[in-house]
Amino acid sequence: MDCIMAPGRMAYITGKKPEGCVFCEGSAREEDLVLYEGNSCYIMMNKYPYTSGHLLVIPFRHICGMEETTAEEKLEMMELTDICVRTLKKAFSPEGFNIGMNLGKVAGAGVESHLHIHIVPRWLGDTNFTTVLGEIRVIPEDIIKTREKLSQYFPRREER
């Protein structure tokens, strides 16, 4: 029998869950997972990714529905999503992408109170038996190494 190790998940499973919104003031926001800050939205690495390079585009304002976004937020969310795709193509050469939002708990939203877009790079064969049979995801790269790879493509706010 093969043993698949995913030590990063245990911290999430057993750890204390942050108070409030993780995208506003929670641990994910504070752990330097933010790669880029725009005027109304930002790009952040997913702390518990579906695969390496899984990014999120998030409005700064704490809103939960598309109907609550301003025209500026809508536009910047799409612009930052485009930047994510272009950057992930350069950094990881994925063969495709899943891009979307889970609006509401019944739609699969893990953080249903704060609107966000998922940008998930995909490769042929990245969905294999572990996901289908074992409900396990295998993340091939440590999140710190992924961040180091991606951060070179995103200028810090003070550099713009």
54 tagged catalytic: no
Question: Within 10 A of 34 (CB to CB), how many other CB atoms are there?
Answer: 21
How far apart (Å, rounded) are the C-alpha atoms in residues 124 and 81?
22
3-state secondary structure of 72: helix
Who's near 75: CB < 8 A, 6+ residues apart? Answer: none
Q: Of residues 54, 114, 116, 118, which has the active-site annotation? A: 116
Closest CA to 123 of 92, 85, 86: 92
64 touches 73 (CB < 8 A):
no
Catalytic (active-site) positions: 116
